[in-house]
């Protein structure tokens, strides 16, 4: 079950984010794109801070490691991309249907995988590439089935650019995934929210209704805050490309909800694309990667336990369970099934 939890986290993250596009479409009738983007991220950041304060008040100390100086460049780029991506997406929503923008979101899967390979040298085997190809083919099939709405309009260009930003941002988040997820989401939420709010102020788009603001904050907490936290937990074990493959379910969920909310019919093309999507998901889930590999000597800090085969260091005072501290790994060569987590970043 332990190996299946990251997959479950990725799918739950997709479910929570999938509802955000059609619900954001409704909120755009009362809020500007810049302001809505700010509120969605503020909802995520404030929500995570609230959860941390509540946990601390109950005396539950987090076992997670905090972001250090060497992770700050990734955190800064993550925030910048998180400012750009939702604004681009919401501008796209103003000019295209919610269903079409949701489905275009599948491009994020391919963008994430390409950045993971080119920038971070994350190993991607033939089976996973085939899974990503099937997921991308599902998007193409949907575009053929709804050519009028999914033409390369200005709205769709904005949506695709948002996917490129999020593809790179996913990899920045991957570089931070061993650190405290609540801290990461709080930084993302407060930082990106402040940036989007500044843009809203500069463009004179700070008018709002209290009820719409509250709904946007709640949507941000669920679809951005909780979703991102689960996404980070999945990335710890699966890596950026594999988590992105599971997360590709989000656009389909968004398209289905859009159809229900806005009276748009789901065609045979949608069902056929859903089959392709499911086939890609099955390929990703059943991937098994095992070979003899070497671990170089390494010193780092992250949450861990001593029963996973990679953390055999001793403590002055015996300790069991999950905890976080700076620890050293001796060089080791062995063989077992693994994914591209923090301990398996080796090349092939």
pTM above 0.75, yes or no: no
d(CA 52, CA 278): 36
d(CA 228, CA 224): 6
CA distances from 64 to 52, 177, 327, 339 (A): 12, 11, 14, 21
Alpha helical stretches, state H, the chain: 5-18, 20-27, 33-57, 72-95, 98-104, 107-118, 126-145, 154-176, 181-202, 210-219, 227-247, 249-262, 268-285
Query: 113: closest CA among 124, 103, 99, 127?
Result: 124
**Tens-place pLDDT, residues 54-105:** 887 777 666 666 777 888 888 899 889 988 888 888 888 888 777 677 667 7
pLDDT at residue 42 is higher than 90: yes
**Tens-place pLDDT, residues 333-347:** 655 454 555 554 545
Tell me what pLDDT residue 150 has: 46
Mean pLDDT of 255-272: 71
Which pair of tokens denotes residue 316? 């002055």
**Tens-place pLDDT, residues 123-169:** 777 877 888 788 777 766 655 554 454 455 677 788 888 989 988 98
Mean pLDDT of 279-300: 63
Query: 189: closest CA among 43, 308, 326, 16?
Result: 43
Which pair of tokens denotes residue 204? 């004179």
**Tens-place pLDDT, residues 236-254:** 788 777 787 777 777 677 7
Query: 155: closest CA among 211, 96, 206?
Result: 96
Query: 48: closest CA among 224, 177, 210?
Result: 224
**Beta pairing class for 290-295 and 298-304:** unpaired
pLDDT at residue 263 is higher than 90: no
CA distances from 171 to 113, 119, 123, 127, 166 (A): 9, 9, 13, 20, 9
Alpha helical stretches, state H, 178-267: 181-202, 210-219, 227-247, 249-262
């Amino acid at each position: 079950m332990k190996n299946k939890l990251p997959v479950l986290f990725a799918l739950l993250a997709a479910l929570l984010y999938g509802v955000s596009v059609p619900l954001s479409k409704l909120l755009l009738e009362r809020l500007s794109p810049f302001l809505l983007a700010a509120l969605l991220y503020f909802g995520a950041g404030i929500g995570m801070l609230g959860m941390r304060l509540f946990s601390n008040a109950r005396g539950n100390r987090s076992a997670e490691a905090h972001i250090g100086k060497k992770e700050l460049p990734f955190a800064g780029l993550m925030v910048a991309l998180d400012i750009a991506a939702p604004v681009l997406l919401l501008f796209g929503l103003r000019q295209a249907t919610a269903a079409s923008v949701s489905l275009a979101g599948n491009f994020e899967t391919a963008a994430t995988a390409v950045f993971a390979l080119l920038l971070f040298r994350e190993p991607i085997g033939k089976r996973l590439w085939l899974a990503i190809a099937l997921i991308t083919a599902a998007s193409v099939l949907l575009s053929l089935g709804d050519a009028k709405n999914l033409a390369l309009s200005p709205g769709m260009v904005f949506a695709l650019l948002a996917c490129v930003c999020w593809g790179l941002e996913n990899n920045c988040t991957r570089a931070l995934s061993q650190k405290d997820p609540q801290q990461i989401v709080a930084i993302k939420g407060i930082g990106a929210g402040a940036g989007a709010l500044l843009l809203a102020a500069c463009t004179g788009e700070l008018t709002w209704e209290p009820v719409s603001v509250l709904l946007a904050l709640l949507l941000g907490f669920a679809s951005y805050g909780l979703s991102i936290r689960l996404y980070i937990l999945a990335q710890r074990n699966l890596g950026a490309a594999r988590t992105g493959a599971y997360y590709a379910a989000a656009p389909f969920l968004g398209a289905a909800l859009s159809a229900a909310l806005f009276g748009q019919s789901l065609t045979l093309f949608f069902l056929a694309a859903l089959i392709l999507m499911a086939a890609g998901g099955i390929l990703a889930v059943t991937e098994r990667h095992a070979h003899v590999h070497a671990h170089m000597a390494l010193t780092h800090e992250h949450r861990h336990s001593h029963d996973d085969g990679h953390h055999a260091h001793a403590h002055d005072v015996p300790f069991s369970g999950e905890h976080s501290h700076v620890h050293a790994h001796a060089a080791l060569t062995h063989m077992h099934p693994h994914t591209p987590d923090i301990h398996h970043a080796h090349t092939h």
